[in-house]
């Protein structure tokens, strides 16, 4: 067999691979592949770059920019701001934030002559329903909790469970903490539910659940726990692209998302988890929390099965949208709450942002709880109905569970 020089052969192989993966001569010519974007500077200012010599206007939009107020029929909301990049003589557009950014996980997109596009130099992205954006993390604070650090890492598994109530196999995401597989200990379980349009991928991707739990557990702040992330849309078997429906464009579909069906099928999830994992099978070993529609689900599931959950977390929860006629699940809310709070959960935690469009509904719900003397904890943040807040709420809630 012919022997080539190791180095020469390897370099040829690498050159080929680079050529092969970049797909296009244009890209190499434009030099995009050599650019760094976003570049996080030592002072935490950030530079965004894009090679676009033929573009007329290149902008960047994202949640690192000051929000803009937008008024629609549904009210006034915060929208991410937009900044314009400037072009140099080589056709490289650039924008540097005027101020250092606070430690956080941020998302952004470019707008090239008005068309939203991904940053071709950043392979890190999140999908939120039908929109994909790039992400980056500023370390040195809250962002450290969303980063992979030198700590023991749990396992993240995508599994299928049988839901006899819904008559189908469904997919979920399970985080088991470091040491789970090797040990014999039984663990408590946090059931963590997504919002409307989300799925069983949302909390592990957008919510950085595995990173948050790895870090909080390693710091001794949270108890080692299993986190089960379900799909709250009972029309779906699994997240878009992961079911028999194929690679269809994700859409918001309403009919069966808040009609009591998911709540009624939830015992299927608990029974799967308790059969398949070494878990503490009692109220003190179970927590349920969710964001937006998932908060709504957590509220109703926890009162529908009042002996099941000692910890309840409502994040920017959809409250006050129920009609008793829709499902027996929503009938007699106050009567069911009375039963739930007779042997009250150890923690009933409500978190919401000051500018959330659900703020007032949450005020009214807190008033109800207070008027009945039901104990709860309340956490109010800046900002609105956004993933940044839900990650923060998870980092606030998790240390309070199972203690």
* Window 81-100: residues binding a second copy (CB under 8 A): 82
Q: By CB under 8 A, is residue 71 in contact with a second copy?
A: no
Of the residues 60, 83, 135, 193, which one makes contact with a second copy according to CB under 8 A: 135
Q: Is the peptide bond before 38 cis (omega within 30 degrees of 0)?
A: yes
Q: By CB under 8 A, is residue 152 in contact with a second copy?
A: yes
387-397 and 209-218 helices, crossing angle to 10°: 30
Q: By CB under 8 A, is residue 23 in contact with a second copy?
A: yes
Listed residue (284, 277, 281) closest to 175, CA to CA: 277
Task: Find the shortest distance in angstroms from Cβ 276 to a second copy.
Answer: 6
Contact yes or no for 379/349 (Cβ under 8 A) = yes
- Give the DSSP H/E element, type plus range, for residue 311: strand 311-315
- Which residue's CB is nearer to a second copy, number 179 or number 375? 179
Task: Find the shortest distance in angstroms from Cβ 161 to a second copy.
Answer: 10
Of the residues 117, 218, 338, 344, which one makes contact with a second copy according to CB under 8 A: 117
Question: DSSP label at 346?
Answer: S
Q: What CA–CA distance (Å, rounded) separates 301 from 265?
A: 10
Q: Where are the alpha helices (DSSP H) in 201-241?
A: 202-205, 209-218
Q: What CA–CA distance (Å, rounded) separates 192 from 156?
A: 14
Q: By CB under 8 A, is residue 125 in contact with a second copy?
A: yes
Of the listed pieces 31-39, 223-231, 304-312, 392-400, which binds a second copy according to CB under 8 A?
Answer: 31-39
Of the residues 19, 84, 219, 284, which one makes contact with a second copy according to CB under 8 A: 19
Burial 69-89 (b: 16+ CB within 10 A, else e): eeeeeeeebbebeebebebee
Count of residues interacting with a second copy (CB under 8 A): 123
Instruction: Pull the structure tokens for residue 143.
Output: 């962002």
Q: By CB under 8 A, is residue 342 in contact with a second copy?
A: no
Q: Residues 32 to 51: which contact a second copy by CB under 8 A?
A: 32-33, 36, 50-51
Q: By CB under 8 A, is residue 339 in contact with a second copy?
A: no
Contact yes or no for 36/15 (Cβ under 8 A) = no
- Which residue's CB is nearer to a second copy, number 215 or number 265? 215
Longest CA–CA separation in the chain, Å: 85
Q: By CB under 8 A, is residue 227 in contact with a second copy?
A: no
- Which residue's CB is nearer to a second copy, number 74 or number 403? 74
Q: Residues 166 to 205: which contact a second copy by CB under 8 A?
A: 169, 171, 178, 181-182, 195-197
- Which residue's CB is nearer to a second copy, number 239 or number 401? 239
- Sign of the CA dihedral running 193, 316, 126, 145: negative
Q: By CB under 8 A, is residue 388 in contact with a second copy?
A: no
Task: Find the shortest distance in angstroms from Cβ 139 to a second copy.
Answer: 7
């Amino acid at each position: 067999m012919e022997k080539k020089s190791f180095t020469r052969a390897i370099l040829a192989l690498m050159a080929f691979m680079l050529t092969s993966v970049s797909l296009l001569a244009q890209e190499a010519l434009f030099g995009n592949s050599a650019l760094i974007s976003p570049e996080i500077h030592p002072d935490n200012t950030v530079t965004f770059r894009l090679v676009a010599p033929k573009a007329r206007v290149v902008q960047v939009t994202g949640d690192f920019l000051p929000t803009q107020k937008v008024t629609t029929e549904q009210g006034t909301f915060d929208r991410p701001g937009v900044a314009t990049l400037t072009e140099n003589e080589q056709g490289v557009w650039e924008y540097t934030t005027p101020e250092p950014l606070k430690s956080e996980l941020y998302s952004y997109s470019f707008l090239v002559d008005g068309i939203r596009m991904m940053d071709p130099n950043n392979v890190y992205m999140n999908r939120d329903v039908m929109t994909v954006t790039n992400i980056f993390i500023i370390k040195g604070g809250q962002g450290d909790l969303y980063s992979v650090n030198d700590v023991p890492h749990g396992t993240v598994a995508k599994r299928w469970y049988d839901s006899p109530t819904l008559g189908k196999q469904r997919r979920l995401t399970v985080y088991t903490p470091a040491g789970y597989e090797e040990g014999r200990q039984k663990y408590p379980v946090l059931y963590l539910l997504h919002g409307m349009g989300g799925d069983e991928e949302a909390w592990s991707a957008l919510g950085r659940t595995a990173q948050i739990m790895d870090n909080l557990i390693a710091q001794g702040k949270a108890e080692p726990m299993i986190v089960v992330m379900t799909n709250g849309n009972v029309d779906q078997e699994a997240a878009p692209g992961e079911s028999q429906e194929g690679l269809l464009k994700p859409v918001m579909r309403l009919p069966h998302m808040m009609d009591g069906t998911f709540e009624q099928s939830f015992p299927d999830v608990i029974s799967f988890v308790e059969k398949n994992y070494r878990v503490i099978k009692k109220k003190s070993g179970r927590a349920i929390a969710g964001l937006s529609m998932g908060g709504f689900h957590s509220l109703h599931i926890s009162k529908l099965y009042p002996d099941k959950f000692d910890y309840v977390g409502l994040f920017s929860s959809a409250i006050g949208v129920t009609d008793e006629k829709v499902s027996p699940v929503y009938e007699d809310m106050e009567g069911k709450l009375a039963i739930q709070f007779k042997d009250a959960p150890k923690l009933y935690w409500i978190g919401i942002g000051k500018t959330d469009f659900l703020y007032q509904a949450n005020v009214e719900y807190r008033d109800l709880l207070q008027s009945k003397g039901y104990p709860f904890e309340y956490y109010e943040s800046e900002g609105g109905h956004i993933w940044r807040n839900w990650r923060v709420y998870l980092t606030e809630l998790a240390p309070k569970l199972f203690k």
